[in-house]
Amino acid sequence: MTTSPEEKALLADAYEVNKKRSELDSADTTVAIQRGLAEARATRSSKRRRLKWITGLCAVSLAVASILFSSLGDLGQQRVTSSEPDVHWGKLEPFRELMRTDQESATLTSAFNHNYVQRVDQTVTMGKYTFTVDALMADENRIILLYSARTDTSNGVYSIENTKLMDASTGYVIDNGSINGIRFTDENHILRGRTTFDRSRSKPLPEKLNFEFQLSSVVPDLPKDGKGKGKEKEQEQQGENSQERKYEFSKKMNVVVALDPKFSIPKTEIIPVNQTFKFGEYEVLIADMEISPLVTQVRVDYNPKQKLDYEKESFISDIIQPFEMVTISKKGEKTTLSRNGGRGTGNGMVYSFSSNFLDKPQSIILKMQGKPGKIYDTLKDAAKDQFEIKIK
């Protein structure tokens, strides 16, 4: 993938926004963003339909959803209740703090508790940048990398970008990844983070992975000489808060890792749901749920007899909002799994959630926004209602 310097700068600014956003209350921020986008859509759609809102429109359209999930991956803090003893992570202990506000915290905690983690500790250095793949975990549907990076510049590493995961043997591109859970530390300007790659379980898990990426850092401010003064004067004319940042980027770097054979053992369970619900004039089928150690996926199919254009599909994707899952252990302990992604299938949607499959939950409940058949005057009213589907 080729990225222009302007695009790289925009990407770097996006990571700075994520970094600052992590200082806010994660759950509240996510809700506010989703509701604000939904209200914007409500205003736009009302001009076309002039109808009351049907059920809880509490998320974005298909096109916006894919962007939102990838950019807000570090916002949804898991509410986990468990008496499981903390497993010491050894050299990976610094990642524990990162996970407290990571949307995948339930998944990663479950993986660590059941030793479903491969310690890698493989480092590559190029110029002034040093990057380490600290650990990874993989299943039929998803691969997750935990990494750390540093540079000897005074401003430290700014971001990781242009990621790509490939089968090292064939060069086949598995996924470009979703960069989430980034956390900076003051100590030695270290950046730590998690990157998630989705894959198709129709293809065998590679024996070796090739992770390709770039690192960026902020160009240090120039000394306050004549040029510096000119720059300061220019900034004063533009305004105090319009300071322009410049970035420099590493060359593309690669880390090749042999995958632990334990990940190639299939651990996916498919639970048929087959429950149909009517939302206004639209009928949808909650078809099934697919659970693996690193991801839970819910498949929603639209009625094929309803001839849907893009606008109607977008409207239905707003109406049908599975927003979280609750699993209950044999001891009655509850774990809340937040939604972390979604994609269109051509005749419906697949929604992704975190997973605690390795904990062997005895009960699984899917929570949906609104109530089937009910018409709402406002989004606030819709947000108060929800219904549950007992999956297991």
Q: Do residues 313 and 84 make contact, with C-beta atoms less than 8 angstroms apart?
A: no
Q: pTM here?
A: 0.72
- AA identity, residue 175: D
Is the pLDDT score of 262 beyond 80? yes
In the prediction, which pLDDT does 325 show? 94
User: Tokens 């070796």 identify what position?
Assistant: 208
If you compute the radius of gyration of the chain from its CA atoms, what whole number of angstroms results?
A: 23
Instruction: Write down the pLDDT at residue 170.
Output: 95
Q: At CA 145, angle to CA 142 and CA 146, rounded to 5?
A: 145
pLDDT of 4 above 60:
no
Tens of pLDDT, residue by residue over 35-70, are 444 444 444 444 333 333 333 333 333 333 333 333
Phi, psi of 111 (to 5 degrees): -65, -45
Short-list 282, 271, 302, 295, CA closest to 370: 282
Please state, in angstroms and rounded to a whole number, the distance separating the CA atoms of residues 136 and 116.
9
Q: Are 245 and 218 in contact (CB under 8 A)?
A: yes
Distance CA(68)–CA(9), nearest Å, equals 19
Q: Please give the share of the chain, as a percent, with pLDDT higher than 70.
A: 67
- Measured CA to CA, the distance from residue 77 to residue 25 in angstroms comes to 9
* Distance between CA atoms of residues 392 and 270, nearest Å: 11
